[in-house]
Structure 1
Amino acid sequence: MRLTVYTEYGLHALVHLARNDGRPQTARNIADAIGLPLNHVVKIVHALRRAGYLDTARGRIGGTRLACPASAITVGDVVRVLEYRLDLMACFRAGGFCVVSSVADCHAALSGALVAYLTVLDGYSIADLLP
């Protein structure tokens, strides 16, 4: 399974925040420090804040910081939050129709593969990604 650039950027942003030991970082700081487009960083911060992984504060001394230790945020968590779709086939979507269901039961095999993939990613935290 290939991760979107959005998720890749999210992982880079979280590693950057983890490196800064709780010091608030503006979206502009994050974008500039790791060479990401500012508009992507803003969207990523919003999504990760809604999921409870980031704290944000407005104002002159505001910014973004991790809401919990980097060791408590798994790569699997981030993928689940930032990936637009985790469905491997159209029939995985709600109300999706599988055109090959009469000749092959791919659903069980691919569902198992997705679970295995996410389980491996759950074994790594943002802290594990720090250099």
Structure 2
Amino acid sequence: MRLANYTDYTLRVLMYCAQHRERRVTIAELAQTHSLSKNHLMKIVNDLARHGLLETARGRGGGVRLLLEPAAIGIGAVVRWCESDFRMVECFDENSNTCRLTAACRLKNLFQRALASWLRELDTATLADLVGEGAAEPLGAPAIISLSRRPAATAVLAHG
């Protein structure tokens, strides 16, 4: 399974903002730090602001800031919000399934259990867990070694 770039970038934006809660973060800073397109980041930031996770301010001194406490933002909920398709194999979609093995196949059930387990694991983490104290270096810091839509905002809050 692979996450969409949108999900990856959304998590990066949230983590970076959580680590810099004392100030507003600019789109240009996010783009430079993560080597990402400003256009992609603007869409993500606008979506996060529209869903009540980020505060945005324009003009001089503007930027974005996390509105909620990092502990209130569940990673599983963010992934569910961002991802549009959890169909791991063709047979997950009954409308377009043409697999001839479906009637006797047990693979679908195995993949469904694996996906549910993966999401349950993501549900155990919050944004605070990803940026907590004790990290060797802040997320988004330059690496020493370089290697070559959606439910409402309330669904993004951490589970009880």
- TM-score, structure 2 normalization: 0.69
- The CA deviation string for residues 4-49 of structure 1, in whole angstroms up to 9 with x for no partner, is 3332222221111011115222212211233222122112213323
The aligned residue for residue 105 of structure 2 is 104
For structure 2, which runs of at least 5 residues remain unmatched after alignment? 136-160
SS at match of 1:97: coil
Asked if the contact 1:74/1:124 (under 8 Å) is kept, the reply is: yes
The aligned residue for residue 24 of structure 1 is 24
Deviation, 1:63, is 2.1
Q: Which has the higher helix share?
A: 1
SS at match of 2:55: strand
For structure 1, which runs of at least 5 residues remain unmatched after alignment? none
1:92 and 1:117 map into 2 onto residues whose CA distance is 16
SS at match of 1:55: strand
Identity %: 37
Say if 2:82 is the partner of 1:50.
no
2:44 and 2:95 map into 1 onto residues whose CA distance is 28
Report the AA paired with residue 109 of structure 1.
L
- TM-score, structure 1 normalization: 0.81
The aligned residue for residue 41 of structure 1 is 41
Bigger drift between 95-104 and 14-23 goes to 95-104
Asked if the contact 1:47/1:82 (under 8 Å) is kept, the reply is: no
Q: Radius of gyration: which is bigger?
A: 2
The aligned residue for residue 13 of structure 1 is 13
1:54 and 1:92 map into 2 onto residues whose CA distance is 34
Say if 2:107 is the partner of 1:115.
no
1:80 and 1:39 map into 2 onto residues whose CA distance is 23
2:109 and 2:9 map into 1 onto residues whose CA distance is 31
2:22 and 2:65 map into 1 onto residues whose CA distance is 6
Cα RMSD (Å)? 2.2
The aligned residue for residue 74 of structure 1 is 74
